[in-house]
Amino acid sequence: MVKGQIRQSLSGYYDVVTATGEEYRTRARGNFRKKKQTPLVGDQVEFKAEKSDEGYILEIYPRKNELIRPPMANLDTAIVVTACVQPDFSSNLLDRQLAMLEAKQIAPVLYFSKVDLLTEEQLKKIQALTAYYHKYYPVYLGGKQNEQSVAKKILSDLDHQVIVVMGQTGAGKSTLLNHLDPSLQLETGEISKALSRGRHTTRKVSLLPIGDNLLADTPGFSSFELREITKEELPLLFPDFVAFQAGCRFRGCLHLNEPGCAVKEAVAAGEILTSRYENYRQFHTAIVERKPKYR
């Protein structure tokens, strides 16, 4: 029995790398199907192999998290690519992604793209906004001129992390991935996206070693619905709210209608972004109105 990490999956085969760097091609035993378990890239597994291309996965160790797209487990960091323009910046989408990542215990790194396309006035607004987010998350700004150097800086600031790149369509995920690992040569641009639509379902998923880190070779575009999150958990997924909540009069304050709420006071005083609070209220309403799922 050998232990290792799944680094690639393709058509029912799983390439597993051991701690000593040896690679084995394996398949999953049939009993995983009975348990409704599927091995995922990033899984820590136990396997048996007579030869390097004839192994069988026997056990999948417990996961700390998993994503649906790309199908991966045990991620440490997500680089969230957000366009400043084209498409227009959406604080709602960004905050939704951040809440989801916090819930999955994946550390967000924020990359704001297309800064070079901003007018002076727009740039001032984005700088004020990113300065706020930078209090709670690592933040990088990139445009055509400095994309490559920013990508290098992001990688050098991360250490032994399993990383996925995610964000809205057209924000520049593939462009950033190509800078992080030029060997990828991913297609970029809307036309190639239209041509490749539907291809992602059969695409292999790989974790590529880049420096000390492992990078998913395909962007993440998990649905950003706040499933499985309760209304009590939601405020804990906003680190800026957590910074003030000790001052709330009531324990378990939801920062909505309760008197003596330090978070609402911080919003009124401009210490918490109004957009963050409005998005939080919207997410809370969506959770409360969510229909129960019957199995």
Helix axis angle, 173-180 relative to 147-157, nearest 10°?
70
Residues paired with 86 in a beta bridge: none
44: annotated binding-site residue?
Answer: no
Q: What is the pTM of this model?
A: 0.90
What is the reported pLDDT for 157? 95
From first to last of its 295 residues, the chain has per-residue pLDDT tens of 899 999 999 989 999 999 999 999 999 988 888 888 899 999 999 999 988 888 999 999 999 999 988 899 999 999 999 999 998 899 999 999 999 999 999 999 999 999 999 999 999 999 999 999 999 999 999 988 898 999 999 999 999 999 999 988 888 888 888 898 888 877 765 434 443 444 444 468 899 999 899 999 888 876 677 878 999 999 999 999 999 999 999 999 999 999 999 999 999 999 999 999 999 999 999 999 987 766 5
d(CA 83, CA 192): 19
- Residue 109, φ and ψ in degrees, nearest 5: -120, 125
| pLDDT 10s digits, 46-86 | 999 988 888 999 999 999 999 988 899 999 999 999 999 99
What is the reported pLDDT for 223? 67
55: annotated binding-site residue?
Answer: no
Give the Cβ contact number of residue 188 at 10 Å.
16
Give the pairing type, strands 72-73 and 66-67. Answer: antiparallel
173: annotated binding-site residue?
Answer: yes
52: annotated binding-site residue?
Answer: no
Helix axis angle, 274-288 relative to 91-103, nearest 10°?
60
d(CA 101, CA 64): 12
84: annotated binding-site residue?
Answer: no
What is the reported pLDDT for 178? 87
Give the Cβ contact number of residue 275 at 10 Å.
15
Instruction: Take residue 189 and report the two structure tokens written for it.
Output: 């641009």
Structural domains of the chain, ranges and CATH numbers in brackets: 2-61 (2.40.50.140), 72-216 (3.40.50.300), 234-288 (1.10.40.50)
d(CA 3, CA 189): 40
Q: What is the CA radius of gyration of the chain?
A: 21
253: annotated binding-site residue?
Answer: yes
172: annotated binding-site residue?
Answer: yes
d(CA 10, CA 134): 38
143: annotated binding-site residue?
Answer: no
Give the Cβ contact number of residue 128 at 10 Å.
10
Give the Cβ contact number of residue 7 at 10 Å.
19
Give the Cβ contact number of residue 51 at 10 Å.
8
204: annotated binding-site residue?
Answer: no
